[in-house]
């Protein structure tokens, strides 16, 4: 009786046994990376209603982050500056610029500028800027070199794993508390001579939570 299937089909079970696990591992690895915030979120840079350049203001002009985000040390969220803050300067500088028309309109009408949020956490994740800045975590540790960004983009994934890595070993992210907004402070260089445990300005040891309720409340 002639064979129903050709002889080479005998190798199919062996091929499945060898290639199946490799294909599964490749699929898991691909999903693990390409579906993670490190791939999907880092680099996100939405177009804003007003072309505000952090490179110009925070970089070239050296404006402190807290001038605009003035609640960052005393509230959970870093405030988005109202048009009044912008007009403190732009009532005298570039007063007729068409790029600033929306700012001027917002100032006169009290209608907020519809800024597009760049750094977002899920609603089920709790984050408070205050303890992080009080501990000496610099703005650039999470937001990157904002002073070099003409258009702000996400620099870090802000994922649970990324946050936990810092909570488990916070020392590399700590700096003197008077340097938190200093974008030129380099942890790899300046941090070599800094020991948070010996900082006389610190009144308590940095001990970030690693339990679930620390971020999920």
Tell if the pTM clears 0.85, that is, is over it. Answer: no
Q: What is the pLDDT of residues 71-96, one digit of tens each?
A: 999 998 898 999 999 999 999 999 99
Domain residue ranges in the chain: 40-80+115-214
Average pLDDT in the chain: 91
Instruction: Identify how many contiguous H helices and E strands the chain contains and give both numbers.
Output: 9, 0
- Read off the tokens for 180: 């938190």
**Cβ-Cβ contacts under 8 Å for 78 (sequence gap 6 or more):** 69, 71, 72, 129
Query: 32 and 93 in contact (C-beta within 8 Å)?
Result: no
Is residue 2 scored above 70 in pLDDT?
A: no
How far from the centroid of its chain's Cα atoms is residue 173's Cα? 14
Q: What is the pLDDT of residues 156-208, one digit of tens each?
A: 999 999 999 999 999 999 999 999 999 999 988 988 889 888 888 887 889 99
**Mean pLDDT calculated for residue range 105-133:** 94
């Amino acid at each position: 009786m002639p064979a129903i299937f050709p002889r080479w089909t005998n190798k199919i079970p062996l091929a499945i046994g060898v290639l199946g696990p490799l294909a599964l591992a490749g699929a898991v690895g691909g999903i693990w990376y390409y579906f993670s915030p490190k791939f999907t979120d880092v680099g996100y840079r939405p177009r804003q209603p007003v072309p505000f350049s952090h490179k110009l203001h925070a970089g070239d002009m050296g404006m402190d982050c807290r001038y605009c985000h003035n609640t960052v040390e005393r509230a959970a969220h870093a405030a988005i500056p109202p048009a009044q803050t912008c007009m403190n300067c732009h009532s005298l500088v570039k007063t007729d610029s068409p790029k600033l028309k929306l700012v001027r309109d917002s100032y006169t009408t009290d209608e907020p500028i519809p800024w597009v949020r760049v750094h977002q956490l899920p609603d089920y994740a709790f984050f408070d800027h205050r303890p992080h800045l009080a501990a000496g975590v610099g703005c650039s540790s999470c937001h990157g070199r904002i002073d070099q960004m003409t258009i702000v983009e996400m620099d870090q994934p802000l994922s649970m794993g990324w946050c936990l890595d810092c909570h488990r070993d916070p020392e590399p992210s700590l700096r003197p508390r008077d340097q938190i907004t200093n974008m030129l402070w380099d942890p790899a260089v300046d941090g070599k001579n800094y020991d948070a445990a010996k900082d006389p300005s610190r009144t308590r040891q940095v001990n970030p939570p690693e339990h679930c309720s620390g971020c999920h409340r």
